[in-house]
Structure 1
Amino acid sequence: MELLDQYSLSWIIGLVVALSVTGVIAGLMAGLLGVGGGIVIVPVLYHLFTLLGIDESVKMHVAVGTSLATIIPTSLRSARAHANKGNLDSALLKSLAPSLLFGVLVGTLISGLVSGLVLSLVFGVIGLLVAANMAISKEPAALAETLPTGIVRHSIGTGIGGFSTLMGIGGGTLSVPVLTRCQVPMHRAVGTAAAIGIFISVPGALGFLINGWGVPERPPFSLGYVNLIGFALIVPMTLWTAPIGARIAHAINAGLLRQLFAVFLFITAVRMLYGVWA
C-alpha cells in the first residue's frame, strides 16, 4: 500500500494510540475543569505531531482543523443537555449568531492565508491570557451590568468567532469570561457557550477542510486539514472520559487542579511562542 510505503505500520499504530490518549486527556480535563476540549486538544495534538515528525508547514493547521471537527458532536451534546436544564439563553445566542458566523468566516479566510507559525502565535498569546485568567483565584470584577448591544455586541461576537476559529476552540474559553463579566449567570453563560461552539465548529471545520484540500505533507487519513483518525478516536474518548472527570472533580481540590492546568497551558503557550521566534 502506498500509505504504508510512506509511513510504517508501527508509526500508524503509534498515531492511533497517541490520538486515543489525546481524547482521554481532553475529556478528563473538560470534566475536571469545565474547559472546552479544544483548549486541550490543540496543544496536545501540536506536541504529538511534533514528536511524530509532521511537517512544520501543516501540523498546526491540522491540529486546529481536527480540534474544530471534534467539537461538533461534543458541543451538540452539551448544548442539548444545557437546554434541557434551561441554561441556554436562546435570545442572547440569536443576537450573537450573525457576528459569530462572520467572525468564523474571517478566521477561516485568514487561516487559509497564513502559516502555521501565525496560528501558533495567536494560540500562544491568547493561551497566555487564558492561563493568567485561570490562575487568578479571586472572582473577576464585572465589566458591565449587561452584555452591550449594537456594534459592541457584534464586535464581541466577531472577535469570539474569529479568534476561536484560529485557535481551534469552541468559543467557551473566550465567551464564558466575557458573558460572566457582563453579569450573565455562570450556568447560563456555560450553557450558551456550548451552543456558541456549534456556530463556530461546524463552519470552522468545513473551512479548514476546504483550505487544506490537496495540501501535501499532511498526516495520513486527513481530509483537508481535518485528520479523520483523530476525529474518529478523540470524540468517543472525550465523550467517555468527560463524565469521569466531572466525578473526580468533586473528590479533589479543583482550585489546585485549575492552577496546574494553567501552568500546563502557560508552558504550552510559551513553547509555541518560542517556536515562532526560534
Structure 2
Amino acid sequence: MTSPTPDPMAHVLGVLDVAADPDRPDAFTGASLPQPGGRVFGGQVLAQSLLAAGRTVPDGRLPHSVHGYFLRAGAVAEPIEFAVERLRDGRSFTARRTHAIQGGAPILSMITSFQEHQDGIDYQDEMPADVPAPEDVPSAFDEMGHLDHPVAKFWTQEAAFDVRHAHGSLYLGPGPRDHGRQLVWFRARGAVPDDQLLHRALLAYACDQVMLEPILRRAGQSWVTPGLSIASLDHAMWWHRDVRVDDWLLYVQSTPSAQGGRGLGAARVFTRQGVLVASIAQEGMVRVPD
C-alpha cells in the first residue's frame, strides 16, 4: 500500500497564495489544483476569493461571514482572476465583494464581511456527547488506500485534509444510517502558518468536500450512485471564534430539506475541546436517476 503524500498541504498553500496584479488595484490571479474530472474545486475558489478580499482589508479585521454563489464550473487548466470591490469600510466592519472570473465570466461571486475584535455577549451550543475520538475513526486512507483508482488515489494520497467519518463514509456505498445526521473529523495533513485569515480560508476550503453529503446519506445514496449529478450552488459561512485547521475539528452535519433537484446541507464546526468555531450552510444540485 502506498503511503499518503508527506505534506499535501504545502501544495494547497501555494495555490491559495493569489498574486496581486501590478497593473490593476484590487485584482489578483490564481491557479488551480488538479482535480479528478478537470473542474475547479469549489472550496479552492472560495478560499482564494476570501484571501484576495482579505488583502484589501485594514489590519486587525478578520472575516466573520461570507455569502457566495457558484455560477459556472471552472477549468483547472486556466488561471482565475479575482476582482475585489470595496463596498464599505466602517468603524467596526468592512465589506468586500469578490468575483472569481474565467474567460471573462464569473464562476463565483461572493460578499465577505470583516470585523475588528470586539467584546460582547458570548454563548454557544454544546458539542454532541459521546462522539468517538478521531483516533478511533477510520480515515479515507484506511478505507480506500488499497484501491487502484484515480479518485481513490487523489483523496488518499493528494488530499490536504485527513477526513474521518464517525459512522461510516459514503465513498464506496450508502451509509448505515437513513437520516442526514453526520459527524466528520477534519485535520490538515501538513503544517499551516500561524495566520488566522489563512486558517479561516482553509476551513472554507475543507468544508466544501462534505457539505452535501448529508443529503446523500438521508436519501440512501453515495458518491458511487450510478448517474449521480451533484454540484454546489451557493455557500454561507459564519466564523464565531478563532480556528486552527491543524488541530482536529468536528463537523456536526444535518440536512433539513431536499426537493426539486436541490438539497440543503448545514454544519456546526467544533474544536476537539468543544468550542464552536463556525456555522455553515450550502445548497446544492443533487440529481439521481429515477
Asked if these proteins are the same fold (TM beyond 0.5), I'd say no
Q: TM-score, normalised by structure 1?
A: 0.28
Q: 1 or 2 for the larger relative contact order (CA 8 Å, sep ≥6)?
A: 1
Larger strand percent = 2
